[in-house]
Amino acid sequence: MAVELYLDLFSQPCRSVFMFAKKNNIPFEFKKVSLMDGEHYGDDFGKISIIRKVPALRDGDFCLSESIAIMVYLAEKFQTPDFWYPADLQQRARVNEYLSWQHTAIRMQGSKMFWLRLMIPKMIGMEVPKEKMDGALEDLNNSLNLIEEKFLQDRPFIVGDQMSLADLVAIVEIMQPLGAGLDVFDGRPKLSAWRDRVRTFIGEELFDEAHQNILGAQEGMKQIDPSKLELFKPKILRLFL
């Protein structure tokens, strides 16, 4: 039986798992879990992940949450090429360094920008105070600066000449604010050149397939009934406002 991947491509970590599996020709069954429809709160998904977050994996009786754990599991099970998660001690440490850093930095800030610029004003109907927005933008820019100056420096990819899980996890988070109309690549030639290398490496078709929902979010949200957001409104406001 093929591995099942529970995904919603609006979600950054789902996009990295999706592209990782596709790029490595890993056979899997795409199980769509619509976050907007609250499907992650349903009984079926509760049997897969008590954490109730996507992505999640089921391989027979074995269930796993957390995108990075899922990609490392797939890398080991399907023996994907070494460059994704290098065996070399120091190269792997570089990948781990980025993966450990990003959770509370660019991941939080990219998500926050998406919610503050698009979802909270347009879908929840609440105004975002200017100082909140300015602070969020400053935090995001600080993280983008760190990605350029510390993690990339003058290298083509985060660990050097080759793509790794670190670049894959980075790109999906950096793309998130674009969904809310904020072009984070504007005025950042180094970051833009790196994005182009990652997109070329992944393959433009696959990269664009993974990102089409998020890049179409401003239009897509117009079709969504805002009352659906009532379910997560308190959580979102606690997290981001």
Ligand X SMILES: N[C@@H](CCC(=O)N[C@@H](CS)C(=O)NCC(=O)O)C(=O)O
What are the residues binding ligand X (CB under 6 A)?
A: 11-13, 35, 40, 53-55, 66-68
CB of 165: closest distance to ligand X in angstroms?
12
DSSP secondary structure of 58-69: EETTEEEESHHH
User: Please, what is the minimum distance in Å from the beta carbon of residue 167 to ligand X?
Assistant: 16
Shortest Å distance, C-beta 187 to ligand X: 27
Q: How far is the CB of 11 from ligand X (least distance, A)?
A: 3
How many other C-beta atoms can be found within 10 angstroms of the C-beta atom of residue 237? 13
- Which own/partner contact pairs does 232-241 have at CB distance under 8 Å and 24+ positions apart? 232/38, 233/124, 236/115, 236/119, 236/120, 236/124, 237/120, 237/124, 237/126, 239/112, 239/115, 240/111, 240/112, 240/115, 240/116, 240/120, 241/116, 241/120, 241/126, 241/128, 241/132
Nearer of residues 91 and 176 to ligand X, judged by Cβ: 176
Please identify, using beta-carbon distances, which residue of 12 and 188 lies nearer to ligand X.
Answer: 12
**If we measure between CA atoms, which residue out of 90, 83, 82, 95 comes closest to residue 170?**
95
| 68 vs 170 by CB, closer to ligand X | 68
CB of 181 to ligand X, least distance (A): 19
Q: Cβ closer to ligand X: 54 or 182?
A: 54
Whether 28 and 4 have beta carbons less than 8 Å apart is answered as yes
Peptide bond into 156 cis (omega under 30): no
Q: What's the closest the beta carbon of residue 17 comes to ligand X, in angstroms?
A: 8
Q: What minimum distance in Å lies between the beta carbon of 1 and ligand X?
A: 23
Closer of 42 and 160 to ligand X (Cβ): 42
Whose Cβ is closer to ligand X: residue 39's or residue 197's?
39
Quick one: which of 241, 184, 181, 169 has its CA closest to 217?
181
Nearest to 118 by CA among 126, 109, 107: 126
Return the number of the residue (115 or 207) whose C-beta is nearest ligand X: 115
Instruction: Give the Cα-Cα-Cα angle 195, 14, 147 (nearest 5 degrees).
Output: 35
**What is the SS3 assignment for 8?**
coil
